[in-house]
Amino acid sequence: MKLKIVALAGGVGGAKLVHGLAQILPPEDLTVVVNTGDDFEHYSLYICPDLDTVCYTLAGLANPETGWGRVDETWQAIENAVRLGGPEWFNLGDRDLGTHLERTRRLKAGQTLSQITRDFCKSWGIRQTILPMSDHPVRTIVETGEGDLAFQEYFVHRRCEPKVTGFRFEGVETAEAAPGVLEAIDAAEAVIICPSNPWVSIDPILVVGDIRRAIEAKTIVAVSPIIGGQTVKGPAAKMYAELDIQPSARAVAEHYRGMLSGFVLDNMDAELASNINIPTLTTDTLMDSLTKRARLARDVLNFIRRINK
C-alpha cells in the first residue's frame, strides 16, 4: 500500500503496530518517532528502552514473550555485577548490554542519539526510518503520593505501585525535534498515534513544541491502548483511575481531544463509538500474533484513506 506515514510510538504496544505497518508499507513510507522520555542511565550506561524495543522488534531480535529485550538472551553480566554489590532492580541482558555499551561510547565521543540510532538500524538491517523524538534529553517524572519519581524508578523499581497524581517532562521547554522528524511529518499523509501509554509514551512526544506544531495540520489517527477498560499490559488504566478518570477507549479519545481526525477502538468497546464525535473505526485491536499486527495496520491505513478522501 502507498501511503506516507509517521507513527508516534512508545515501547511494547507501539512496536507491535509499527511492526504491522512495516509489513504493509514500503520502507521509505514509514517513519517512526519514538519516545525518549523513559531514557535513563544505569551502571553509567545510556539506556533507551522504547527505541530499543521498536528497533529489536523491526529487526526480528525482540523477545516474543515479553515484547521487550532480546530473544535468546542470557544474564551473566548483570548477575555478576549484582553479586559484586551492584543495583539489581533493572535487568540488563548480555546481548542488550552490547547495545548500551556501544551507544554510550558513541554519545561520549560526541555523536547524537539520532546519528547513533541511524547507524544501529543500518547494522540491524532495518529499512524504515526510526528517529528518537529529540536529541535533547527530556525526562518523564511521575508525580506520586510518595513524591516525584523518575520514570524507571516508578515503572520498574517501584512496580507502578505509588499512586499517580501527575506527570512532568523535564527539559521539554528547550527540547527540539530530532533531525528528520519535522521533514518526515511535513511529507506524511497522516500521523498514527500507536496504542502506547498516552500519559508516559505519547505525551512526552506531543509536548515537544515543534513536533506538536508540525502535526497540527495533519490527519491524525490514534489507536486505543485500552480495551474493555483495561490495558493489555502496563499501567495506563491504573493511571487513568488514579487521576479520577474512568479508564476506557473513550477516555483515550478525550485525552487527545482537539487533535484527532479519527480514532480506532476495539470491537469489545463498540458501544463507546457513538459517544466519540470524530470518525471512528471499530475493529479487532488485540495484536496477539504477527498476522494480527499486520491486519490492524491494514485496517488503520484503509481508515486513513477514507478520512483523507
Which residue ranges make up the site for ligand GDP (CB under 6 A)?
10-14, 16, 50, 53, 68, 195-197, 201, 223-225, 227, 231-234, 236, 285-287
**Secondary structure of the chain as H, E, C letters:** CCCCEEEEECCHHHHHHHHHHHHHCCHHHEEEEECCCCCEEECCEEECHHHHHHHHHHHCCECCCCCCCECCCCCHHHHHHHHCCCCCCCCCCHHHHHHHHHHHHHHHCCCCHHHHHHHHHHHHCCCCEEEECECCCCEEEEEECCEEEEHHHHHHHCCCCCCEEEEEEECCCCCCECCCHHHHHHHCCEEEECCCCHHHHHHHHHCCHHHHHHHCCCCEEEECCEECCEECCCCHHHHHHHCCCCCCHHHHHHHCCCCCCEEEEEHHHHHHHHHCCCCEEEECCCCCCHHHHHHHHHHHHHHHHHHHC
Report the nearest approach of ligand GDP to the CB of residue 204 (Å): 10
Q: Specify the residue, 186 or 288, whose C-beta has the smaller distance to ligand GDP.
A: 288
Q: Specify the residue, 21 or 187, whose C-beta has the smaller distance to ligand GDP.
A: 21
Q: Are the CB atoms for 63 and 73 separated by under 8 Å?
A: yes
The gap from C-alpha 273 to its chain's centroid, in whole angstroms, comes to: 24
Q: Specify the residue, 162 or 179, whose C-beta has the smaller distance to ligand GDP.
A: 162
Residue nearest to ligand GDP (CB): 13
Report the nearest approach of ligand GDP to the CB of residue 85 (Å): 29
Q: Specify the residue, 65 or 217, whose C-beta has the smaller distance to ligand GDP.
A: 65
Report the nearest approach of ligand GDP to the CB of residue 83 (Å): 28
Q: Are the CB atoms for 194 and 9 separated by under 8 Å?
A: yes
Q: Specify the residue, 80 or 246, whose C-beta has the smaller distance to ligand GDP.
A: 246
Report the nearest approach of ligand GDP to the CB of residue 2 (Å): 25
Q: Specify the residue, 120 or 263, whose C-beta has the smaller distance to ligand GDP.
A: 263
Report the nearest approach of ligand GDP to the CB of residue 33 (Å): 13
Q: Specify the residue, 5 or 183, whose C-beta has the smaller distance to ligand GDP.
A: 5
Q: Specify the residue, 108 or 157, whose C-beta has the smaller distance to ligand GDP.
A: 157
Q: Residue 244 corresponds to which amino acid?
A: D
Report the nearest approach of ligand GDP to the CB of residue 305 (Å): 21
Query: Any idea which residue has 529529540 for its cell?
Result: 134
Q: Are the CB atoms for 20 and 295 separated by under 8 Å?
A: yes
Report the nearest approach of ligand GDP to the CB of residue 196 (Å): 3
Give the pairing of strands 139-144 and 147-150: antiparallel
Report the nearest approach of ligand GDP to the CB of residue 269 (Å): 10
